[in-house]
Structure 1
Amino acid sequence: MVIHLLSVAQTTSNGLIKPLGHHELLLVLLELSLLLLVARGLGELMRRINQPPVVGELLAGVLLGPSLFGWLLPNLQAQIFPHSQVQSDLLSVISWLGVLFLLIVTGLETDLKLIIRKGKTALLISLGGIVVPFITGFGLGWLLPETFLAEPSKRLVFSLFIATAMSISAVPVIAKVLMDLNLIRRDIGQVTLAAGMTDDTIGWILLSVVSGLASSGQFNFSTVFHSVSAAILFLAIAFTIGRTVVDQILRWADDYIGGMTTSLSIVVILALAAAALTHALGLEAALGAFVMGILAGQSRRFSSQAGHTLEVITAGFLAPIFFATAGLKVNLLTLFVPQTLIFGLVVLAVACIGKFIGAYMGSRVGGLSHWEALAMGSGMNARGAMEIVVATIGLSLGVLNPQMYSIIVMVAIVTSLMAPPLLRWSLSKVVIGEEEAQRLEQEEQASRSFIKQIHRILIPTSGGSNIQLAAQLVGYIAHQNPIEVTALYVQSDKPLQKTSRQLTKAKNFTDKQALAAVEAEMQLPAGITLQTKTLAGRSKAEVILTEAQKNYDLIVLGASERLPSKEALFNLLVDRVVQEAPCPTMVVKSHLPLPQGDSCTIAQQQLKHILVPTIGTESSKYAVEVASTIAAQTGALVTIVNVINVPQVEYIVYEQRSFDTAREISHDLLEQQAAIGRSLGADVKINILHGNPEREILTFAQIHAVDLIVLASNIRMVTGRAFFGHRVDAILSKAQCPVATITIP
Structure 2
Amino acid sequence: MLRLLTTLEGAGEHLIQPLGHHQLLLVLLELSLLLLMSRGLGEVMRRINFPPVVGELLAGVLLGPSLFGLLFPNLYAEVFPQSQQQSDLLSVVSWLGVLCLLIVTGLETDLKLIIRKGKTALLISLGGIVIPFVTGFGLGWFLPETFLADPNKRLVFSLFIATAMSISAVPVIAKVLMDLNLIRRDIGQVTLAAGMTDDTIGWILLSVVSGLASSGKFDFGTVFRSVSAAILFLAIAFTIGRTIVDQILRWVDDKVGGVTASLSVLLVLSFLAAAFTQYLGIEAALGAFVVGILAGQSRRFSREAGHILEVFTAGFLAPIFFASAGLKVNLLALLEPQTLIFGLLVLAVACVGKFTGAYLGSRAGGLSHWEGMAMGSGMNARGAMEIVVATIGLSLGVLNSQMYSIILMVAIITSLMAPPLLRWSLSKVTIGEEEAQRLEQEELASRSFIKQIHRVLIPTRGGANIQLAAQLVGYMAHQNHTEVTLLYADDKSRAEASQAATAEKDTIAVAAFTAASQVMQLPDDSTLQKKIESGSNKVEAIINEANKGYDLIVLGASEKTRSKDSLFNLIVDRVIQEAPCATMVVKSHLSEAEAESSTTAQQPLKSILVPTVGTEYSKNAVEVASTIAAQTGAIVTIVNVINLPPIEYILYERRTLHPMKDIASDLLEQQAVISRSFGADVQTRILKGTSPEMEILNFAANQNFDLIILGSNIRMVTGRVFFGHRVDAILKKAHCPVAVITAP
Same fold (TM over 0.5): yes
Point out the more displaced range, 499-508 or 640-649: 499-508
Letter in 1 for 2:612: T
Distance 2:558 2:595 in 1: 15
Distance 1:493 1:152 in 2: 74
Alpha carbons of structure 1 residues 488 and 407: separation in structure 2 relative to 1, 3 Å: closer
Letter in 2 for 1:367: G
Say if 1:466 and 1:561, in contact at 8 Å, map to a contact too.
no
**CA deviation after TM superposition for structure 1 residue 517, in Å:** 0.9
In the alignment, structure 1 residue 575 sits paired with structure 2 residue 577: no
Distance 1:97 1:325 in 2: 12
Say if 2:708 and 2:739, in contact at 8 Å, map to a contact too.
yes
Task: For residue 290 of structure 2, give the secondary structure of its aligned residue in structure 1.
Answer: helix
Structure-1 residue corresponding to 2:49: 50
Say if 2:558 and 2:592, in contact at 8 Å, map to a contact too.
no
- Given the alignment, which residue of 498, 512, 515 partners 2:513? 515
Task: For residue 480 of structure 1, give the secondary structure of its aligned residue in structure 2.
Answer: coil
* Matches for 1:696-711 after TM superposition, within 5 Å: 696-711=695-710
Alpha carbons of structure 1 residues 363 and 402: separation in structure 2 relative to 1, 3 Å: same
- Given the alignment, which residue of 562, 565, 581 partners 2:563? 565
In the alignment, structure 1 residue 360 sits paired with structure 2 residue 359: yes
Task: For residue 445 of structure 1, give the secondary structure of its aligned residue in structure 2.
Answer: helix
Distance 1:120 1:177 in 2: 24
* Matches for 1:30-179 after TM superposition, within 5 Å: 30-149=29-148, 158-171=157-170, 173-174=172-173
Letter in 2 for 1:105: V
Structure-1 residue corresponding to 2:303: 304
Alpha carbons of structure 1 residues 154 and 569: separation in structure 2 relative to 1, 3 Å: closer
* Matches for 1:404-483 after TM superposition, within 5 Å: 404-434=403-433, 436-483=435-482
Point out the more displaced range, 321-330 or 175-184: 175-184
- Given the alignment, which residue of 587, 590, 594 partners 1:589? 587
Deviations 1:159-209 (A, max 9, x none): 444444333444555555556656555322332333322441343145236
Task: For residue 486 of structure 2, give the secondary structure of its aligned residue in structure 1.
Answer: strand
Structure-2 residue corresponding to 1:16: 15
Structure-1 residue corresponding to 2:528: 530
* Matches for 1:279-298 after TM superposition, within 5 Å: 279-298=278-297
Say if 1:517 and 1:599, in contact at 8 Å, map to a contact too.
no
Distance 1:686 1:243 in 2: 47
Alpha carbons of structure 1 residues 318 and 176: separation in structure 2 relative to 1, 3 Å: farther
Deviations 1:598-645 (A, max 9, x none): 444113211122122222222222111111111111111222222232
Distance 2:282 2:686 in 1: 65
Deviations 1:106-155 (A, max 9, x none): 33333212212333433433333333223323433444445445566665
Distance 1:182 1:279 in 2: 39
Say if 1:158 and 1:400, in contact at 8 Å, map to a contact too.
yes
Task: For residue 479 of structure 1, give the secondary structure of its aligned residue in structure 2.
Answer: coil
Alpha carbons of structure 1 residues 696 and 282: separation in structure 2 relative to 1, 3 Å: same
Say if 1:457 and 1:556, in contact at 8 Å, map to a contact too.
yes
In the alignment, structure 1 residue 633 sits paired with structure 2 residue 631: yes
Task: For residue 714 of structure 1, give the secondary structure of its aligned residue in structure 2.
Answer: coil
Distance 2:499 2:382 in 1: 73
Distance 1:398 1:284 in 2: 14
Alpha carbons of structure 1 residues 393 and 687: separation in structure 2 relative to 1, 3 Å: closer
**CA deviation after TM superposition for structure 1 residue 542, in Å:** 1.6
**CA deviation after TM superposition for structure 1 residue 58, in Å:** 3.4
Letter in 1 for 2:209: L
Point out the more displaced range, 141-150 or 318-327: 141-150
Letter in 1 for 2:346: V
Say if 2:328 and 2:401, in contact at 8 Å, map to a contact too.
no
Distance 1:435 1:269 in 2: 44
Task: For residue 356 of structure 2, give the secondary structure of its aligned residue in structure 1.
Answer: helix
Structure-2 residue corresponding to 1:6: none
Say if 1:514 and 1:599, in contact at 8 Å, map to a contact too.
no
Q: Identity over the aligned pairs, expressed in percent? A: 73
Point out the more displaced range, 515-524 or 76-85: 76-85
In the alignment, structure 1 residue 192 sits paired with structure 2 residue 190: no
Alpha carbons of structure 1 residues 193 and 162: separation in structure 2 relative to 1, 3 Å: closer
**CA deviation after TM superposition for structure 1 residue 300, in Å:** 1.9
Deviations 1:679-708 (A, max 9, x none): 122122233333322122212212222211
Corresponding residue pairs, total = 730
**CA deviation after TM superposition for structure 1 residue 419, in Å:** 2.5
Distance 2:211 2:688 in 1: 79
Structure-2 residue corresponding to 1:651: 649
Alpha carbons of structure 1 residues 231 and 712: separation in structure 2 relative to 1, 3 Å: same
Task: For residue 739 of structure 2, give the secondary structure of its aligned residue in structure 1.
Answer: strand
Task: For residue 690 of structure 1, give the secondary structure of its aligned residue in structure 2.
Answer: strand
Point out the more displaced range, 557-566 or 167-176: 167-176
Deviations 1:264-312 (A, max 9, x none): 2222322222222223222233322232222222222222333333333
Task: For residue 406 of structure 1, give the secondary structure of its aligned residue in structure 2.
Answer: helix
Letter in 1 for 2:444: Q
Deviations 1:393-427 (A, max 9, x none): 55566655443333233223222322333233333
Point out the more displaced range, 578-587 or 682-691: 682-691
* Matches for 1:273-352 after TM superposition, within 5 Å: 273-352=272-351
TM-score normalised per structure 2 = 0.89
Structure-1 residue corresponding to 2:240: 241
Deviations 1:24-66 (A, max 9, x none): 3333333334333333333333333333433433333333333
Say if 2:567 and 2:721, in contact at 8 Å, map to a contact too.
yes
Distance 2:563 2:395 in 1: 80
Distance 1:55 1:270 in 2: 31
Point out the more displaced range, 664-673 or 167-176: 167-176
Residue ranges of structure 2 left out of the alignment (5+ in a row): 1-8
**CA deviation after TM superposition for structure 1 residue 470, in Å:** 0.9
**CA deviation after TM superposition for structure 1 residue 718, in Å:** 3.1
TM-score normalised per structure 1 = 0.89
Alpha carbons of structure 1 residues 272 and 653: separation in structure 2 relative to 1, 3 Å: farther
Distance 1:279 1:427 in 2: 40
Distance 1:179 1:293 in 2: 21
Letter in 1 for 2:287: G
Letter in 2 for 1:248: Q
Letter in 1 for 2:709: V
Alpha carbons of structure 1 residues 673 and 199: separation in structure 2 relative to 1, 3 Å: same
Task: For residue 703 of structure 1, give the secondary structure of its aligned residue in structure 2.
Answer: helix
Deviations 1:190-249 (A, max 9, x none): 323333224413431452365257x24xx3111100111112111211111111112211
Structure-1 residue corresponding to 2:720: 721
Deviations 1:356-409 (A, max 9, x none): 222222332233332333333333323335444544555566655443333233
Residue ranges of structure 1 left out of the alignment (5+ in a row): 1-9
Structure-1 residue corresponding to 2:683: 685
Letter in 2 for 1:574: V
Structure-2 residue corresponding to 1:207: 209
Say if 1:711 and 1:740, in contact at 8 Å, map to a contact too.
yes
Letter in 2 for 1:578: I
Distance 2:578 2:434 in 1: 43
Deviations 1:564-604 (A, max 9, x none): 43211111111111111121111111122467694441132
- Given the alignment, which residue of 548, 551, 574 partners 2:549? 551
Distance 2:603 2:228 in 1: 57
Letter in 1 for 2:238: F
Distance 1:662 1:716 in 2: 27
Task: For residue 576 of structure 2, give the secondary structure of its aligned residue in structure 1.
Answer: helix
Letter in 1 for 2:26: L
Alpha carbons of structure 1 residues 457 and 287: separation in structure 2 relative to 1, 3 Å: same
**CA deviation after TM superposition for structure 1 residue 739, in Å:** 0.8
